[in-house]
Amino acid sequence: LQPYQRNKTNIIMPNTDSILRIALQKSGRLSEDSFRLFKECGIKFESGTGKLKTSSSNFPAEFLFLRDDDIAGYVEDGVADIGIVGENVFIESNRKAEITYRLGFSKCRLSIAVPRGVDYKNIEDFQGKSIATSYPRLLGNYLKEKGVKADIHEISGSVEIAPSIGLAEGVCDIVSSGSTLLSNGLKEVETIFRSEAVLISNKKLSKAKHDTLNKLLFRIKAVQTAQNYKYILLNAPNDKLQEIINMIPGMKSPTIVPLAMEGWSSIHSVLEENQFWENIEAIRSAGAEGILVIPIEKMIY
């Protein structure tokens, strides 16, 4: 099946069998990061306030805007073909879908915290005590792994208030910067799970939808690979070319362009940003001048 076909008026239309239904969080940081990713992938769609569904104008995809807690269920049931959700939410939901790709953004951690005045030693301090959380499955698995029997109070929202009202001796909640814990008089003592945004998919996608998913993943990987690389241009004396090339080998081999000034050439290369910074002083000492570092929008091997 082709992703696009002509209708009776000879207008090219997407083949509905290959249209991928994508579930996204309708608001919040994960939503913003997801929208940015699709924009960088060149996929156009409207995401105005109040919209629950929209279609892309240049890619065979429909978008559903949902609460994050509902995304995994929609994907499991086949209402959506794929979805972007926090790994912590997906694991907690215990839904039968597949993690297809780890996206690397919206990173956070699920941690246990106690009041700042508590003399905490290790997780065994919670033996016979209680912990308030919105993630009972993840917390329960961690406590079982550590051999600790504690009461888990499942609550939704405002978890940090539990110790101050006597509901629990500690809390287990998502932490990004830690400022929320600090403002509520708590300190982080155990990290039990590290999370990031993941792309999940229904286990029974048709071949046509799999093909569309592969095209989407191709774009995502091209965008994300480019974020770690930079295009480097510099001028160098010809007698130092090989020394500098050894420090910035590039994807295959640098491009060398002779300059109008005799005895000098311009070196063009692509390399990881960390690799560039590790070698920048040595590159300059070798005689490189006019060094330019340029971001790369897309990168395809």
Residue 124 has a pLDDT of: 95
Can you list the alpha helix ranges (DSSP code H) found in the chain?
Answer: 29-40, 68-77, 87-93, 136-146, 179-183, 207-227, 241-247, 273-285
pLDDT in tens, 152-181: 999 987 899 999 999 999 999 999 877 888
Residue 15 has a pLDDT of: 60
Decide if 132 contacts 198 (C-beta within 8 A). no
- Whose CA is closest to 201, among 299, 286, 50, 81? 81
pLDDT in tens, 194-228: 999 999 999 999 999 999 999 999 999 999 988 88
Cβ atoms < 10 Å from Cβ of 188: 15
Mean pLDDT, residues 52-68: 93
Residues near 21 by Cβ (< 8 Å), separated by ≥ 6?
61, 62, 63, 64, 79, 80, 81, 82
Mean pLDDT, residues 131-137: 96
Residue 292 has a pLDDT of: 93
Residue 149 has a pLDDT of: 96
Q: Between the CA of residue 62 and those of 20, 45, 75, 76, 83, what are the distances in Å?
A: 6, 9, 13, 17, 11
Q: Which residue has the tokens 């597949």?
A: 98
Residues near 271 by Cβ (< 8 Å), separated by ≥ 6?
229, 230, 232, 248, 249, 250, 251
Euclidean distance between CA atoms 91 and 250, whole angstroms = 39
State whether residue 143 is helix, strand or coil. Answer: helix
DSSP 204: T
pTM of the model: 0.82
Euclidean distance between CA atoms 29 and 73, whole angstroms = 21
Least confident span in 75-89, 126-140, 201-215, 249-263: 249-263
Residue 39 has a pLDDT of: 94
Residue 47 confidence class, pLDDT cut points 50, 70, 90: confident
pLDDT in tens, 94-114: 999 999 999 999 999 999 999
**Cα within 13 Å of Cα(98), Cβ side:** 8
Q: Which residue has the tokens 């429909």?
A: 62
Mean pLDDT, residues 13-42: 88
Residue 239 has a pLDDT of: 94
Six-digit token string for 226: 């480019």
Residue 48 confidence class, pLDDT cut points 50, 70, 90: low
Mean pLDDT, residues 135-151: 96
Question: Bigger pLDDT: 231 or 9?
Answer: 231
Residue 137 confidence class, pLDDT cut points 50, 70, 90: very high
- Whose CA is closest to 62, among 211, 209, 205? 209
Euclidean distance between CA atoms 15 and 2, whole angstroms = 7
Q: Rg of the chain over CA atoms, in angstroms?
A: 26
How do beta strands 170-175 and 130-133 pair?
parallel
Decide if 159 contacts 134 (C-beta within 8 A). yes
| pLDDT > 50? residue 2 | no
Which amino acid makes up residue 210?
H
Euclidean distance between CA atoms 258 and 105, whole angstroms = 41
Residue 274 has a pLDDT of: 84
Residue 11 has a pLDDT of: 44
Question: Bigger pLDDT: 228 or 65?
Answer: 65
